[in-house]
A = this chain, B = another copy of it.
């Protein structure tokens, strides 16, 4: 009797959905396609020379350690480097506050694993990062979406969500994925105040914080939270923070980290042991070699310059080509902007049209845990060159105009 696999999957497997973004990747393999769909960094900005030198140094001097099993919490010098960097921003952390993860996606998965029981509620921005929903759907999370505007989560609407005892509040405060919007300073303060009042922790996902092109840096929520507490040299507040080397170095090495109170880090370590034992020792040592003398701070200046130019080209060409009734955000950093079409346009249907014009984007609906908002889309401006952005936005505008004309005819 051959096994009927369908009868054997766990209940959670029914809740797993493929990411619309990952499914769109296959279209981007068409060399004529201009894709604004992925969230990929500019490959021309990868620090290949520095990686080559670091690989050679690590393999020449420390290969017996680099190729061997390592500890679950991560390579100590790398955790120490991250702690020092974080302290520069005013947050008192030590390596005991830090766990290295295999990309931010693993940080989200491990947080789901240690915190979420089936049916638990998570407060999220509406829209929010779809990868977080994917990670937490597997643990049976339910979502309380909080309305969102050009200053981020509308924190005056947050309080009623907190009364129902959610597990945590999930926010992407800087140049949010998918919208590019930044949570304002006043709302950061209100968020912490409410988190404190109701004893609900905050998960702060900050992959893009260093990629600000203009405007003033706002302090991370974790920093604001730690300022409200007595310092003991080791952070122990209400905020769990996560960031990554994917945008400042390269995503292909799958390196990110979580900052949390030591007792939470200990639980995450237990969960990670059972999940993948530890993150690649080699990659951690290479990243440390690349970053240890301050290279990353220099390198992000280059990235900011490239992304700023690309954002500007995208904003200019949107202005030039888009028909009336189309609106978009003006992000001050990051990789994405968010476009809103006239109400009558379903961007999933538009996508079929756009692909014929050889341009791709992500329909907005998948970023809303309860669906709706079908007239929105996410556009990435970090991956395509300025010339491609210029051409691609032209194609997208044509597709939109034709789609609207066809709808009106019909």
Cα(A276)–Cα(B71), bound, Å: 19
Q: Of the candidates B6, B19, B46, which one forms a contact with A63 in the assembled complex, judged by CB atoms under 8 Å apart?
A: B46
When distances are taken between beta carbons in the complex, the residues of chain B under 8 Å from A60 are 52
Cα(A198)–Cα(B18), bound, Å: 32
Q: Is A40 an interface residue (CB 8 A)?
A: yes
When distances are taken between beta carbons in the complex, the residues of chain B under 8 Å from A71 are 22, 25
List 10 extra interface pairs beyond A2-B196, A134-B274, CB under 8 A. Answer: A3-B201, A10-B117, A12-B113, A13-B113, A16-B270, A51-B59, A67-B250, A68-B252, A69-B251, A253-B280
A53 to chain B, nearest CB (A): 10
A83 to chain B, nearest CB (A): 20
When distances are taken between beta carbons in the complex, the residues of chain B under 8 Å from A106 are 275-276
Find the B residue at minimum CB distance from A46: B67
When distances are taken between beta carbons in the complex, the residues of chain B under 8 Å from A5 are 201, 261, 263-264, 267
A106 to chain B, nearest CB (A): 4
How many of these chains are in the complex?
2
Cα(A237)–Cα(B18), bound, Å: 25
Q: Of the candidates B197, B238, B252, B271, which one forms a contact with A69 in the assembled complex, judged by CB atoms under 8 Å apart?
A: B252
Cα(A120)–Cα(B44), bound, Å: 49
Q: 18 A-B Cβ contacts within 8 A?
A: A2-B229, A3-B201, A3-B238, A12-B117, A13-B114, A13-B115, A13-B271, A39-B69, A41-B68, A55-B55, A66-B252, A68-B250, A105-B276, A109-B275, A135-B275, A250-B282, A253-B280, A254-B278
A343 to chain B, nearest CB (A): 32
| B273, A116: Cβ atoms closer than 8 Å | no
A307 to chain B, nearest CB (A): 16
When distances are taken between beta carbons in the complex, the residues of chain B under 8 Å from A89 are none
The 8 A-B residue pairs with the shortest CB-CB distance, nearest first, are A67-B250, A43-B64, A252-B281, A134-B274, A55-B55, A67-B252, A48-B63, A16-B270
| A109, B274: Cβ atoms closer than 8 Å | yes
Find the B residue at minimum CB distance from A13: B114
Cα(A65)–Cα(B55), bound, Å: 17
When distances are taken between beta carbons in the complex, the residues of chain B under 8 Å from A236 are 2
Q: Is A219 an interface residue (CB 8 A)?
A: no
Q: Is A139 an interface residue (CB 8 A)?
A: yes
Q: Is A128 an interface residue (CB 8 A)?
A: no
Q: Is A97 an interface residue (CB 8 A)?
A: no
Q: Is A408 an interface residue (CB 8 A)?
A: no
Most central of A3, A64, A236 by chain B CB within 10 Å: A3
| A252, B274: Cβ atoms closer than 8 Å | no
Most central of A11, A251, A264 by chain B CB within 10 Å: A251
Chain A residues numbered 99-133 whose CB sits less than 8 Å from any CB in chain B: 102-103, 105-106, 109, 113-117, 120, 131
Q: Is A277 an interface residue (CB 8 A)?
A: yes
When distances are taken between beta carbons in the complex, the residues of chain B under 8 Å from A135 are 274-275
When distances are taken between beta carbons in the complex, the residues of chain B under 8 Å from A139 are 10
Given contacts A13-B267, A43-B64, A67-B48, contact A277 B131 (CB under 8 A): yes
